[in-house]
Copies of this chain bind each other. A is one copy, B any other.
Amino acid sequence: MAGYAMNKKDLQDRLRRIEGQVRGLQRMVDQDTYCIDVLTQVNSVTAALRAVGMGLLDGHVRHCVTESIEQGKGDQKVQELMAAVARFAGK
Contact = CB atoms under 8 A, between A and B. Distances in A.
A87 B50 CA distance: 12
Interface residues of A, number: 61
A90 B66 CA distance: 24
Interface of A: 1-4, 8, 11-12, 15-16, 18-19, 22-23, 25-26, 29-30, 32-36, 38-40, 42-43, 45-47, 49-54, 56-62, 64, 66, 69-70, 72, 74, 78, 80-82, 84-91
Number of copies: 4
Contact of A56 (B30, B39, B61, B80): B39
A39 B22 contact: no
Given A19-B26, A57-B82, A82-B58, A42 B49 contact: yes
